[in-house]
Amino acid sequence: ATLEDLLTVKDVGPVVADSITSFMEEAHNREVIEQLLASGMQLSVEEKVISAAVAGKTFVLTGTFPTMTRDEAKDLLEKAGAKVAGSVSKKTDYVVAGTDAGSKLTKAEELGIPVIDEAAMVDLLK
């Protein structure tokens, strides 16, 4: 890949792209990679499944969910292209509230932010 190609990869900036390019220019490094691949090593990329309904939206999670942890919910939302914030603000698009939701729920109601449950969140991800 060229330096320009590497710069199109999310989270790869000029310094990292330059380091990768320099690394791959060394014949020895390419040989090591070829040997690793020949020995059965597989490179994988975590696939992001972007959901048009949530991409670019900001979610806040509060309370306890019936079928998943908050970390699991956060991972699902982020893989679908959403942002997950730790606190409610006027920039929040949705608050996902489970049982025993606290001050985040109150703040969302005060700001008029839509509050949904886990099931509605899962529906948005489809």
pLDDT digits (tens, 9 = 90+) for 64-82: 999 999 999 999 999 899 9
51-67 pLDDT tens trace: 788 999 999 999 999 99
64, 19: one domain: no
108, 69: one domain: yes
28, 64: one domain: no
63, 26: one domain: no
74, 118: one domain: yes
- Domain extent, residue 116, equals 58-125
pTM for this entry = 0.63
113, 74: one domain: yes
Annotate the chain with DSSP letters as a single string.
--HHHHHTSTT--HHHHHHHHHHHHSHHHHHHHHHHHHTT-----PPP---TTTTT-EEEEESB-SSS-HHHHHHHHHHTT-EEESS--TT--EEEE-BT--HHHHHHHHHT--EE-HHHHHHHH-
